Amino acid sequence: MIEVVSNWRDDYYKKLGEYEQIGIKEYWIVDYLAIGGKKFIGNPKQPTISIYQLVDGEYQVTQFRGDDRIVSPIFPQLNLIAQQILQAGSSQL
Residues whose CB falls within 8 Å of the CB of residue 61, separated by 6 or more in sequence, listed in order: 50, 51, 52, 53
Nearest to 53 by CA among 92, 19, 11: 19
Confidence of residue 25 (pLDDT cuts 50, 70, 90): very high
| Predicted pLDDT of residue 89 | 58
Taking the C-alpha atoms of residue 63 and residue 39, their distance in angstroms, rounded to an integer, is 12
Given a cut of 60, whether residue 1 has pLDDT beyond it is yes
pTM for the whole structure = 0.88
Please provide the distance, in angstroms rounded to a whole number, between the alpha carbons at the two ends of the chain.
22
The predicted-structure confidence for 39-69, as pLDDT tens digits, reads as follows: 999 999 999 999 999 999 999 999 999 999 9
Confidence of residue 70 (pLDDT cuts 50, 70, 90): very high
Domain encompassing residue 8: 2-90
| Counted domains in the chain | 1
Q: Which is it for strands 26-31 and 48-55: parallel, antiparallel or unpaired?
A: antiparallel
Amino acid at 66: G
